[in-house]
Amino acid sequence: MTVEEKRRLIEFGYGKLSIRRQCELLDLHRSNYYYEPVKIPEDSLRIMHRIDEIFTECPFYGSRKIREGLRREGIKIGRERVQAYMRQMGLRAIYPRVKTSRKHPEHKIYPYLLGDTSIAYPDQVWGTDITYIRLRQGFLYLVAIIDWFSRYVLSWRLSNSLDVSFCTEALKDALERGCPKIFNSDQGSQFTSNDFTGILLSSGIEISMDGRGRVFDNIFTERLWRSVKYEEVYIKNYQVYKDAREGLSSYFLFYNNRRYHQSLGYRTPAEVHYRECRGR
């Protein structure tokens, strides 16, 4: 049963049980039922939306350059505040840098396996990442899992928190469509958690994690985020969660089935993914 099907069961009744108990019985994290966006002051939200736009255009920009860009636009802000916003938004610049974040002490960090690997067929390597989706009065987090060869988006989820549950739900959903040889992610605590890596290991999947200071480890998901933001999110200006869910659902259908990719010989991800899978 999908998350949406579980949510509908709760929304259509069962009034004798609390929402919390219904979520427990359905194995549904409560954040996936309520979907309340992260609410912050309007001034802060405006700055965060602008940071998102700058970062999407220049994902190699760190807090110093983003602060300079904001300063030139007349926004007075300190670097520490920019860093705090970027942490809250889940943004990390893709450039060589010294270590600035702490690893979770109980989480194993796996080596990067793809340095000399040629990506030659679907389900060879999958990758994942999390990005910030702005709303009129807040924001949500979006996770997606993408096939590196075909660029096919296998699954995605929205959440109002960086809790691991929406990432594991996306992973389980993707694994219903196939199974990769290697799964690549960054070293974020959601992806290093035992809940997430345990699913991969139990499925016999090799785990690869971006090395700190590697610029192009996660390039395919970075390109996906640029497409999502410029072709959907910034155009639609979602008001509430429902708008984001419906808009992204339509966009990913378009992206997989009707969006031509120059790097794929002007074929769609679905054409490449399923044609190559049938040919193997």
SS3 for 211-258, per residue? CCCCCCCCHHHHHHHHHHHHHHHHHHCCCCHHHHHHHHHHHHHHHHHC
In a domain, 149, yes or no: yes
* Residue of higher predicted confidence among 214 and 82: 82
Q: How far apart are CA 69 and CA 50, in angstroms?
A: 10
Q: How far apart are CA 190 and CA 220, in angstroms?
A: 19
Give Rg (Cα) of the chain: 19
In a domain, 247, yes or no: yes
Structural domain boundaries enclosing 150: 125-279
pLDDT at 101 over 50: no
Cβ atoms of residues 92 and 185 within 8 Å: no
Question: How much is the pLDDT for 213?
Answer: 45
- Please give the mean pLDDT across all residues of the chain: 86
Question: How much is the pLDDT for 212?
Answer: 56
In a domain, 252, yes or no: yes
How is residue 149 annotated by DSSP? Answer: T
Q: Are residues 9 and 140 in the same domain?
A: no
pLDDT at 10 over 90: no
Among 4, 12, 31, 35, CA closest to 20? 31
Count how many domains the chain has. Answer: 2
Q: Are residues 11 and 144 in the same domain?
A: no
pLDDT at 278 over 70: no
- Helices assigned H by DSSP within 145-229: 165-175, 189-192, 194-202, 219-228
Question: How much is the pLDDT for 90?
Answer: 84
Question: How much is the pLDDT for 96?
Answer: 43
* Residue of higher predicted confidence among 203 and 212: 203
In a domain, 66, yes or no: no
Q: Are residues 135 and 14 in the same domain?
A: no
pLDDT in tens, 71-90: 999 999 999 999 999 999 88
What value does the mean pLDDT take over residues 43-61?
92
pLDDT confidence bin for 35, thresholds 50/70/90: low
pLDDT at 102 over 50: no
Q: How far apart are CA 217 and CA 184, in angstroms?
A: 9
In a domain, 18, yes or no: yes
In a domain, 162, yes or no: yes
pLDDT confidence bin for 21, thresholds 50/70/90: confident
Q: Are residues 24 and 129 in the same domain?
A: no
Q: Are residues 142 and 18 in the same domain?
A: no
In a domain, 272, yes or no: yes
Question: How much is the pLDDT for 19?
Answer: 60
Q: How far apart are CA 270 and CA 195, in angstroms?
A: 29
pLDDT in tens, 123-173: 999 999 999 999 988 899 999 999 999 999 999 999 998 989 999 999 999
Question: How much is the pLDDT for 277?
Answer: 66
- Indicate the range of 35-44, 124-133, 174-183, 229-238 predicted with least confidence: 35-44
Q: What is the CATH number of the domain that holds 176?
A: 3.30.420.10
Question: How much is the pLDDT for 47?
Answer: 96
pLDDT confidence bin for 28, thresholds 50/70/90: low
Question: How much is the pLDDT for 15?
Answer: 53
Q: Are residues 153 and 22 in the same domain?
A: no
Q: Are residues 261 and 158 in the same domain?
A: yes
In a domain, 220, yes or no: yes
DSSP, residue by residue, 4-37: HHHHHHHHT--TTS-HHHHHHHTT--THHHH-PP
pLDDT confidence bin for 24, thresholds 50/70/90: confident
